[in-house]
C-alpha cells in the first residue's frame, strides 16, 4: 500500500504513514473519516486576535490553548490536524499579549505622571498665592491699605488711577502679571469687612470642583 500524500510504502494494516503521519487505513476503534481540525488551535488563534479587547487576558488564554493544541495534534496519531494553526495562534496571542501589557503599562505611567503634574501645579499655585499676599502686604504698608477689589491685583504692577489712589506707591510689587499654572488670572476678592482673599479656581477656571479642578487657596494641601 502506498501513502497518498508522500508516496512511501506503508505496511499492510497500518493506520497511518510512518513518514508523514497521513491516515492510510481504518481509524482506531473503527472511526473512519478524514482528520478533523483541532478546536483548541482555532480557539487559540481567535483569542489572540481579540486579545487587546480584553486587556490581554484572552491573549494569555490563547497562548495556553495553542500550546495544548500543539501537543494534542502531535498525540492524535493523525486524527487531528491544525498544528500550524496552533503555532500561529501561540505567536499571535503572544504578540497581542505583549502589546496589551505595553499599552496598559503606558496608560498607568501616564496617569501617574499626570497625577504628579497636577499636584505640582497646585503646589505652585499655593506658593504664588503666598507671594501675591506678601506683595499686597507691602502695598498696604506703603499706601495704608490693600487695593480695592475694583483696582484688583493689577495695582501691584501699575499705579492705580482710580480712588483711593495710593499716596506712596513704590511698585511694581510683582515681577509679572499673576496667572495661575493653568493660565487663569488669580481671583482677588475683598469682603465687606475689609478682608481680602486671593485664590485660584483650579484647572477648570470655575468655582468648586474636585482634584485638579478644585479651588486653591494659600492653605490648600496639594
User: Could you tell me if residue 13 is inside a domain?
Assistant: yes
Q: How many structural domains is the chain composed of?
A: 1
Q: What is the Cα–Cα distance from 174 to 154, expressed in whole angstroms?
A: 9
Cβ atoms of 132 and 140 closer than 8 Å = no
Dihedral, 137, 143, 148, 154 alpha carbons, nearest 10 = -70
User: Could you tell me if residue 222 is inside a domain?
Assistant: no
User: Could you tell me if residue 221 is inside a domain?
Assistant: no
User: Could you tell me if residue 5 is inside a domain?
Assistant: yes
Q: Which residue has the higher pLDDT, 183 or 15?
A: 183
Do you know the residue count of the chain?
A: 222
Cβ atoms of 154 and 176 closer than 8 Å = no
| Banded model confidence at residue 31, pLDDT cuts 50, 70, 90 | very low
Q: What is the Cα–Cα distance from 81 to 36, expressed in whole angstroms?
A: 6
Residue 21: what pLDDT? 67
pLDDT tens string 93-111: 899 889 888 888 888 888 8
User: Could you tell me if residue 7 is inside a domain?
Assistant: yes
pLDDT value at 212 more than 50: yes
Cβ atoms of 43 and 51 closer than 8 Å = no
Q: What is the Cα–Cα distance from 131 to 67, expressed in whole angstroms?
A: 65
User: Could you tell me if residue 26 is inside a domain?
Assistant: yes
User: Could you tell me if residue 170 is inside a domain?
Assistant: no
User: Could you tell me if residue 28 is inside a domain?
Assistant: yes
Average pLDDT, the chain: 86
Compute and round to an integer the Cα radius of gyration of the chain.
38
Q: Which residue has the higher pLDDT, 59 or 54?
A: 59
pLDDT tens string 151-193: 999 999 999 999 999 999 999 999 998 899 999 999 999 998 8
Residue 104: what pLDDT? 86
The label of the residue with cell 505496511 reads 11
C-alpha grid cell for residue 202? Answer: 483650579
Cβ atoms of 62 and 43 closer than 8 Å = yes
Domain ranges, residue 26: 1-34
Percentage above 90 pLDDT, the chain:
45
Enumerate the β-bridge partners of residue 200. 216
The label of the residue with cell 465687606 reads 192
Amino acid at each position: 500500500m502506498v501513502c497518498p500524500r508522500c508516496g512511501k510504502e506503508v505496511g499492510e494494516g497500518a493506520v497511518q504513514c510512518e513518514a508523514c503521519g497521513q491516515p492510510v487505513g481504518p481509524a482506531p476503534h473503527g472511526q473512519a473519516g478524514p482528520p478533523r481540525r483541532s478546536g483548541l488551535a482555532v480557539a487559540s488563534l481567535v483569542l489572540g486576535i481579540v486579545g487587546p479587547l480584553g486587556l490581554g487576558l484572552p491573549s494569555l488564554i490563547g497562548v495556553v490553548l495553542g500550546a495544548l493544541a500543539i501537543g494534542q495534534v502531535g498525540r492524535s496519531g493523525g486524527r487531528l490536524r491544525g498544528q500550524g494553526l496552533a503555532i500561529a495562534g501561540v505567536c499571535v496571542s503572544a504578540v497581542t499579549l505583549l502589546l496589551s501589557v505595553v499599552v496598559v503599562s503606558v496608560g498607568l505611567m501616564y496617569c501617574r505622571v499626570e497625577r504628579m503634574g497636577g499636584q505640582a501645579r497646585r503646589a505652585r499655585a499655593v506658593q504664588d498665592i503666598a507671594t501675591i499676599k506678601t506683595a499686597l502686604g507691602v502695598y498696604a504698608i506703603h499706601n495704608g491699605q490693600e487695593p480695592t477689589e475694583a483696582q484688583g491685583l493689577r495695582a501691584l504692577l501699575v499705579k492705580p488711577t482710580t480712588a483711593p489712589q495710593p499716596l506712596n506707591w513704590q511698585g511694581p510689587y510683582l515681577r509679572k502679571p499673576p496667572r495661575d499654572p493653568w493660565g487663569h488670572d488669580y481671583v482677588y476678592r475683598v469682603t465687606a469687612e475689609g478682608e481680602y482673599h486671593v485664590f485660584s479656581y483650579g484647572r477648570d477656571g470655575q468655582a468648586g470642583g474636585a482634584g485638579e479642578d478644585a479651588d486653591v487657596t494659600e492653605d490648600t494641601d496639594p
